[in-house]
Structure 1
Amino acid sequence: MAWSVWTQRNQVRLDQPNCMLSEIAQPPPIDLYKINYDGATYDSENKSGIGVVIRDSHGSAIASLSQQLPRLCQATEIEILVATRALEYATKIGITDAVLEGDSLLVVQAISAATQSLSPLGFLIDDATSFNSFFNELHYSRTKVAYNLAWHARNLSNYVVWIEFVPPPSLFFFSG
């Protein structure tokens, strides 16, 4: 959180694109985790990157994921792919009650609608919504927390996962 605030401060100081403090992060309600995700594309390098941060109800980061992908998709497609990856990652570490947050209003609305989409991106949206059944409670919101992790992925050779929280062994089935 502090890193995001500091980055935004520097972007304002350097007159670069930035977001309002209220868009950076708010702790999730009690008994819910917040899953923030974002994707980035690097056209000149023909790469994409994804970033996921999972925080507890105190706002503390408990897990994160940063991964580089080949540049096979457009920005909206990357956003849907990273939302799917974020939900998959959360289920693999045992999260069952959460708020999913991304910065694309279009993607947040499409995934939260949970209806079959006939749009060209419908199959990607269906992949993301297929994880809904793994959650007891899942809400949707829009913000920009994982932006820096997605851009960090530009320099990775594979992917980076960090987990502070380790659920009981019966819930832990992370592989790959």
Structure 2
Amino acid sequence: MKKSFLVEEHTLAVIIAWKAWENRNKKATGEQALQPSEILSWCKNYIGTFNNAQLCPSAGLRDVHPSLCKPPPVGAVKLNFDAGFPMDKNFFSAAAVARDCAENCLGWKVEKIPDKLRPVEGEAVAALKAIYLAKGRGWRDIVLEGDCIQLIQALGNNRQ
């Protein structure tokens, strides 16, 4: 119980720091900013809105699509990759995280790429960035995992 309380306090502190920094930047550029007395209530409201927007997966959905991580074989490195596409932006983000068989994080990479691609193309770029991460670290035995079925099937159909 105590741990959850500390996490909530930490989250609030981070949001307050972020909003105070944003407020300072707005004042520096002459934009309208919150009064210092308004920042705490704004931050609490922001966290409340975020928490209320979170979806709790139903038990049936968890059974159909489990979210348990399956570690790679001993000696291999698992690279999870994904791409994110902000709406109405001319860029996307490609990300990868590497884990060993004990599920320790060995490294990660996030890159903002100035281009507007189709989602499957962005996922392919994210997979390539994951492979570059592995190559740069000297990992030869890798397992790639992503959530784009079209890409995973295309990669799987070319196994030799």
TM-score interval (norm. to shorter)? 0.5 to 0.7
Q: CA RMSD in A?
A: 2.9
User: Is 2:125 aligned against 1:81?
Assistant: yes
CA contact (8 A) 1:43 1:71 kept: no
Letter in 1 for 2:101: S
Q: What percentage of residue pairs aligned between the two structures are identical?
A: 24
The Cα of 1:44 is off from its aligned counterpart by 2.3
User: Is 2:59 aligned against 1:15?
Assistant: no
Give the alignment's TM-score, normalised by structure 1: 0.53
Structure 1 partner of 2:146: 102
The Cα of 1:61 is off from its aligned counterpart by 0.4
Please give the residue correspondences for 1:50-61 in structure 2 after superposition, counting only pairs within 5 Å: 50-61=94-105
The Cα of 1:113 is off from its aligned counterpart by 1.7
Q: Distance in 2 between matches of 1:91 and 1:109?
A: 23
SS in 2 for 1:57: coil
Taking structure 1 as reference, are residues 28 and 80 closer, same or farther at Cα in structure 2, changes over 3 Å only? Answer: same
Letter in 2 for 1:89: L
Q: Distance in 1 between matches of 2:69 and 2:97?
A: 11
Structure 1 partner of 2:81: 37
Taking structure 1 as reference, are residues 58 and 108 closer, same or farther at Cα in structure 2, changes over 3 Å only? Answer: same
Bigger Rg, structure 1 or 2: 2
Q: Whose strand proportion is higher, 1 or 2?
A: 1
CA contact (8 A) 1:39 1:50 kept: yes
SS in 2 for 1:23: coil
Pairing partner for 1:26 from 61, 66, 70: 70
Q: Whose helix proportion is higher, 1 or 2?
A: 2
Structure 1 partner of 2:157: 113
Letter in 1 for 2:106: I
Give the alignment's TM-score, normalised by structure 2: 0.58
SS in 1 for 2:143: strand
Unpaired runs of at least 5, structure 2 = 1-49
Structure 1 partner of 2:107: 63
Q: 1 or 2 for the larger relative contact order (CA 8 Å, sep ≥6)?
A: 1
Structure 2 partner of 1:93: 137
Q: Distance in 2 between matches of 1:23 and 1:64?
A: 20
SS in 1 for 2:122: helix
Unpaired runs of at least 5, structure 1 = 1-9, 116-131, 133-176
Please give the residue correspondences for 1:127-138 in structure 2 after superposition, counting only pairs within 5 Å: none
SS in 1 for 2:113: strand
Q: Give the count of matched residue pairs.
A: 107
